[in-house]
Chain A
């Protein structure tokens, strides 16, 4: 039976993405590679926090920062994964043109290419959370977790991140191959507005609206609430919203981003073809 174009594009890209990501080394080195980067990121924040507070891990702010940062791993992973596939295919493997002329759905192909980074990100998140519980008193009790909320929020959040990744991938079509990773640059910048590592109140009033417009803000709040409800609610930022309201807002913003991603892809795709950028090699 012929699978639909969308499924075929996605599964094939998932397989390809996994090969590209993982087959450069043996499994042991790969496992270390997968966890060391996000663990180091988390450790930077832990050290910053412990220097200033003298190790006051019992304060609700610590799990706030720790969990926000842990789940933010997904933002970098998905955004960088999806957008990097464009550069990698275009400039390195020089296969983007062949993907374009194949009977596949390009956005779903890109999303598939991001899956491997998502899976790697998942391992990293689990390792970070485990380290937090074991060594840093993060009050995560698996019996107290609101699993329903967690799973729904995670699925919705991943969809939202995929849409954001798609927007970035579409823009990447128009951008030259610079020596840095634009996915990581964007994820690094959004760190500021997503309430990941500090409540939005800390931002100056004129910057806060950007944070409120970002779906990541609501998603991270939901992740914190589902895992350690009471601690998460200790901060006023989104305290007035119920879980359901937050889910509603996240869903609404996800839909908006999904629509935006469709239009962005169409426009960038049109412009890239008009300017002949699909098969260019712009490394310098």
Chain B
């Protein structure tokens, strides 16, 4: 048996977009995933990091047997998701951020109990486990509240409990902390880490055997950085890099990363800066009263040419900071844009 919890080979998915009545004849195609090759070891907490519309949810849908790939293959828990969905399903579960699943007229306990039954859990144990898990996310006092009476954040906590409840070998969390406040998001991250680290499978030896695997998608850099053993950066359906957060950042270690706050930009564009030989990447964001420049420079000395350009354009430097690389910088280095800029451009195609 393979020691990979998740394995994909040249995985692609193309959506056919149906237009409205007037555009019926025009069938557009959208490449949501393109030749994705990934391996996730058993016992790994793996993150898929990318902007909205990057293809993260599509990948999760394929891995959870809800969507067939257009080409390539994927295995989860050792089984092909297209050929053997019935062998994959008992071993997985999934929670999507912001989902409204369950029945509003049922209480939190009743909703969770119902889903546990679909996995064949004995009722008594399911109920005990529901109480334990609700305690862990601080929802135990709402156990008898109708789920329609829960706030968005509490409902999301209930859904997260649903994912852990059935004790899957591989758990998929699609934007699990979406809509949660800082404290709740922290609770959920802690639960995720605890589960992967301390919940062995009943049997298994060898590399990673007997350990649970968790794949989460996020577009929060900090979440990926803080939580994941390895991260794949994905954009426009393609995996651009895959490694531990430390290794991904290490590639930028030789570069110098600066953040400069300035007065308004007076027509300065990122291209003008990137045309400088030593400037690898530059991103400009408008902020109140001016702008923020984020620069990845091949060497520190290149800062002088940037300052020179700013002076020529009569742009005042208000603050200048040198900082350690983050995953955001890794993304910018790979894509050439900040994640939020990509999201702005891709907004109409998000999915």
Residues of A within 8 A of B (CB): 23, 176, 276, 280-284
Q: Is the CB of A280 within 8 A of B104?
A: yes
Quick one: which of B21, B106, B148 contacts A280, CB cutoff 8 A? B148
Q: Looking across the interface, which residue of chain A has its beta carbon closest to that of B106?
A: A284
Distance in angstroms from A62 CB to nearest chain B CB is 42
Q: Is the CB of A283 within 8 A of B21?
A: no
Q: Is the CB of B148 within 8 A of A281?
A: yes
Q: Is the CB of B21 within 8 A of A284?
A: no
A contact residues around B149 at 8 Å (CB): 276
How far is A176 from B103 in the complex, measured between Cα atoms in Å? 12
Please list the 6 inter-chain residue pairs (A to B) with the smallest Cβ-Cβ separation, ordered nearest first.
Answer: A281-B104, A284-B105, A284-B103, A280-B148, A282-B104, A282-B105
How far is A283 from B100 in the complex, measured between Cα atoms in Å? 12
Distance in angstroms from B21 CB to nearest chain A CB is 7
How far is A282 from B148 in the complex, measured between Cα atoms in Å? 8
Distance in angstroms from B74 CB to nearest chain A CB is 33
Q: Is the CB of B105 within 8 A of A23?
A: no
Q: Can you report 17 A-B residue pairs in the complex whose CB atoms are below 8 A from each other?
A: A23-B21, A176-B105, A276-B149, A280-B104, A280-B148, A281-B100, A281-B104, A281-B148, A282-B104, A282-B105, A282-B148, A283-B103, A283-B104, A284-B103, A284-B104, A284-B105, A284-B106
Q: Looking across the interface, which residue of chain A has its beta carbon closest to that of B102?
A: A281
Distance in angstroms from B109 CB to nearest chain A CB is 16
B contact residues around A276 at 8 Å (CB): 149
How far is A281 from B149 in the complex, measured between Cα atoms in Å? 10
Secondary structure class of chain A's binding surface, majority of residues: loop
How far is A151 from B73 in the complex, measured between Cα atoms in Å? 66
B contact residues around A282 at 8 Å (CB): 104-105, 148
A contact residues around B148 at 8 Å (CB): 280-282
Which residues of B from 92 to 137 have beta carbons under 8 Å from A? 100, 103-106
Which residues of B from 1 to 44 have beta carbons under 8 Å from A? 21
Distance in angstroms from B110 CB to nearest chain A CB is 11
Interface-central residue, B21, B100, B148, by most chain A CB under 10 Å: B148
Q: Looking across the interface, which residue of chain B has its beta carbon closest to that of A280?
A: B148
B contact residues around A176 at 8 Å (CB): 105
Distance in angstroms from B337 CB to nearest chain A CB is 33
A contact residues around B104 at 8 Å (CB): 280-284
Using A23-B21, A283-B103 as known contacts, list a sample of 5 further A-B pairs with CB atoms less than 8 Å apart, ordered by residue number in A.
A276-B149, A282-B105, A282-B148, A283-B104, A284-B104
B contact residues around A284 at 8 Å (CB): 103-106
How far is A280 from B150 in the complex, measured between Cα atoms in Å? 11
Distance in angstroms from A93 CB to nearest chain B CB is 13
Interface-central residue, B100, B104, B106, by most chain A CB under 10 Å: B104
Distance in angstroms from B103 CB to nearest chain A CB is 5
How far is A283 from B104 in the complex, measured between Cα atoms in Å? 7
How far is A280 from B105 in the complex, measured between Cα atoms in Å? 9
Distance in angstroms from B100 CB to nearest chain A CB is 7
How far is A282 from B21 in the complex, measured between Cα atoms in Å? 33
How far is A176 from B100 in the complex, measured between Cα atoms in Å? 17
How far is A283 from B148 in the complex, measured between Cα atoms in Å? 11
**Could you give, for residues 143-158 of chain B, a 1 whenever the CB lies within 8 Å of some chain A CB and a 0 otherwise?**
0000011000000000
Distance in angstroms from A282 CB to nearest chain B CB is 6
Distance in angstroms from A279 CB to nearest chain B CB is 9
Distance in angstroms from A174 CB to nearest chain B CB is 14
Interface-central residue, A23, A176, A282, by most chain B CB under 10 Å: A282
How far is A282 from B104 in the complex, measured between Cα atoms in Å? 5
Q: Looking across the interface, which residue of chain A has its beta carbon closest to that of B104?
A: A281
How far is A217 from B180 in the complex, measured between Cα atoms in Å? 56
How far is A23 from B19 in the complex, measured between Cα atoms in Å? 13
Distance in angstroms from A165 CB to nearest chain B CB is 26
Q: Looking across the interface, which residue of chain A has its beta carbon closest to that of B149?
A: A276
A contact residues around B100 at 8 Å (CB): 281
Distance in angstroms from A101 CB to nearest chain B CB is 17
How far is A97 from B149 in the complex, measured between Cα atoms in Å? 15
Q: Looking across the interface, which residue of chain A has its beta carbon closest to that of B100?
A: A281
Distance in angstroms from B33 CB to nearest chain A CB is 29
How far is A284 from B107 in the complex, measured between Cα atoms in Å? 12
A contact residues around B106 at 8 Å (CB): 284
B contact residues around A283 at 8 Å (CB): 103-104
How far is A283 from B149 in the complex, measured between Cα atoms in Å? 14
How far is A282 from B105 in the complex, measured between Cα atoms in Å? 6
Q: Looking across the interface, which residue of chain B has its beta carbon closest to that of A91?
A: B104
Distance in angstroms from B151 CB to nearest chain A CB is 12
B contact residues around A280 at 8 Å (CB): 104, 148
How far is A280 from B149 in the complex, measured between Cα atoms in Å? 8
How far is A23 from B148 in the complex, measured between Cα atoms in Å? 31
Distance in angstroms from B306 CB to nearest chain A CB is 47
Distance in angstroms from B4 CB to nearest chain A CB is 39
How far is A281 from B106 in the complex, measured between Cα atoms in Å? 11
How far is A176 from B146 in the complex, measured between Cα atoms in Å? 14
How far is A230 from B95 in the complex, measured between Cα atoms in Å? 68
Distance in angstroms from A222 CB to nearest chain B CB is 40
A contact residues around B105 at 8 Å (CB): 176, 282, 284
Distance in angstroms from A277 CB to nearest chain B CB is 10
Distance in angstroms from B146 CB to nearest chain A CB is 9
B contact residues around A281 at 8 Å (CB): 100, 104, 148
How far is A280 from B100 in the complex, measured between Cα atoms in Å? 11
Distance in angstroms from A177 CB to nearest chain B CB is 9
**Could you give, for residues 286-303 of chain B, a 1 whenever the CB lies within 8 Å of some chain A CB and a 0 otherwise?**
000000000000000000
Q: Looking across the interface, which residue of chain B has its beta carbon closest to that of A23?
A: B21
A contact residues around B103 at 8 Å (CB): 283-284
